[in-house]
Chain A
Amino acid sequence: MYKAARYALRLDPSPGASVDVMVINKDLMAASSTPIVLAILAEGDSYGYAILQRVRELSGGHLEWTDGMLYPVLHRLERLGHVKARWKVAESGRRRKYYRITSGGRAQLAEERRQWQTVDSTLRGIWSAALPQGA
């Protein structure tokens, strides 16, 4: 299995697969997953696999989620009413669960965005003022 996983780094067709994956701590992952998923769904309806591809693409391959873990996140957003799910038959002929952002989800996304921007601008202030680059 390990051998196959190494193949994957070379052969995975997703863009940026050869870039080193950054290890991000669990809490930060959990906190950022909501705005990321909601923002991707704000671009248009999507399903699990495509959402993960988009995450990989947006992060330039630096951000790598364990695939299965996306689904409990989607189910939580569904329970909170931020997204709506429905089953459709995809081109492949398989049944696939598509997710769509709701108006409540958009409001949540705007709120998340405001919060993250505050955190981000605060950190930017400190990074440039107190610490030299790359410390």
Chain B
Amino acid sequence: MPVPGDSGFLEEQIGQWRAYLHRRQAIQPVDAAELEDHLREHVASLTAAGLSADEAFLVAVKRMGALDDLSREFAREHSERLWKQLVLVSTDAAVPAARVRTEAIFALALAVAAAALFKLPALFGKDTAHYPTFYARIFALVVLPLLTGFFVWKRRLDTRTVRWLAAGFAAAVVFATVYPFAKGGNTEVLTALHLPIALALLVGIAYAGGRWSQVAGRMDFVRFAGELLIYYALIAFGGGVLSALIGMMFHAIGIDPQAFIGEWLLPCGAAGAVLVASWLVETKQSVIENMAPVLTRLFTPLFAAALVTFLGTVLWTGRGVDIQRDVLIGFDLLLVVVLGLLLYSVSARDPASPPSAFDGLQVVLLVSALLADAVALWAIAARITELGFTPNRVAALGENLILLVNLAWSAVLHIRFLRGRGSFASLEKWQTDYLPVYAAWAAVVVIVFPPLFGWI
């Protein structure tokens, strides 16, 4: 037990003071070191003049000025620090800079590998312009194993898990390439759409790095996926601007770059960007505010209002849902968006905090989405035999039911939570437990549908 006056006590006090400094965003570690040197010299000169260590410390700290004023002055001089920057070279002593650099190089190498692999079939005469569905089908097969490889390396997964993951991907390669799809047929498009969902499970297992069996591990993957989507969209937007400007510049000098953009820039960029975006999400994790929960807050009220208005209109006018070709897919997308809104507000919420008005709003969103979907399902059920069972319709129907079950039980859990009869953690557990169901259904669509419907 340190007593006032001894040097251990002083070190402890200075350590505490340093911790307070580090909490201020405007004061960086290097400034804190400069201030600490000042404090120590002041303390030394005061103790030399006869003060005890604790007295000297108190005087020196007081003379340093109030921390709030100090941090305000630093913020005025270094206003850029209040904007969190993505620092790729770690300032955190816990992660050595060499490790950060290796990770960056590895991620970029994987991105280049993804782009090269994706272009490999072109060597065998399959150009992107004539085989768009073929490339759509193999996209996930090229990109997701490499992404999984990144996490296997980063999380240092044991060989047993790696073997299972490899087996999963090998099976995917077989089903997606060996099946004799009719070119551009429904089942081929369904495979292209469902393969990424099925394989996402393998990425998730690698991402969670042995924590997949825990709710927290799966929830971290959900957070990662959301941020990845947002980063990918931003990179895609940037790529679009780049392509447009390249097109404009080369047109101006009489060269048509369309072939280069379509055959190289777009496919290579689309494949490489998945790896780059994943690496950025991993790196920035703690640096920048997560975007998905912010968007959720913004759009939950708007979607709730739109859905309630829709239901009101249906009731008021008595209009039924007109079943055209794509209505079911449209309603699937609606449920996916509602699920996303639910998932990302769950992911950002402190499970211990009591129910708030936002929770009420979410229940409104859930219930109105369920009712809207019920209206659509009712209309389909009435005419399903007349319309016939095409692969697209069966897949869409299956997805609708899966989402419906999830959202219905989520609504029940949410209402229980609002009424103080259940905990929020049960909702979190339900959502993360349900993740493999999507992958399983997607796998069924990929494996069973093509032979079942005769490769059309």
Name A's B-contacting residues (CB within 8 A). Answer: 1, 4-5, 7-8, 11-14, 47-49, 66-69, 71-72, 75-76, 79, 90, 92, 94-97
Contacts and interface: CB of A to CB of B under 8 A. Distances in A.
Interface stretch (B46-54, B156-164, B219-227, B441-449): B46-54
B33 A7 contact: no
Interface of B: 31, 33-35, 37-38, 40-42, 44-46, 48-51, 55, 58-60, 62-65, 69-70, 73-74, 76-78
Contact of B70 (A68, A75, A79): A68
A96 B64 CA distance: 17
A48 B73 contact: no
A49 B50 contact: no
A5 B73 contact: no
B91 to A, nearest CB: 15
B82 to A, nearest CB: 14
Given A13-B45, A13-B49, A95-B37, A69 B73 contact: yes
Contacts of B48: 13
Contacts of A47: 37
A8 B63 contact: yes
B59 A4 contact: yes
What is the interface of chain A mostly: helix, strand, loop, or mixed? helix
B46 A72 contact: no
Which one of B33, B38, B62 has the highest number of Cβ atoms from chain A below 10 Å of its Cβ? B38
B34 A1 contact: no
Given A69-B73, A95-B37, A11 B50 contact: yes
A49, A90, A96, A97: which has the most chain B beta carbons within 10 Å? A49
A14 B48 CA distance: 12
A94 B69 CA distance: 26
B42 A97 contact: no
B38 A49 contact: yes
A4 B55 contact: yes
B37 A94 contact: yes
A47 B33 CA distance: 13
A1 B62 contact: yes
A8 B46 contact: yes
Contacts of B35: 68, 71
A26 to B, nearest CB: 11
Q: Which 9 A-B pairs have the closest CB atoms?
A: A66-B65, A4-B58, A68-B65, A13-B49, A72-B77, A72-B73, A68-B70, A8-B59, A68-B64
A94 B35 CA distance: 12
B165 to A, nearest CB: 47
Given A75-B78, A95-B33, A12 B62 contact: no
A72 B64 CA distance: 13
Contacts of A49: 37-38, 41-42
A14 B46 CA distance: 9
Contacts of A95: 33, 37
A7 B46 CA distance: 10
A82 to B, nearest CB: 14
Contacts of B63: 8, 66-67
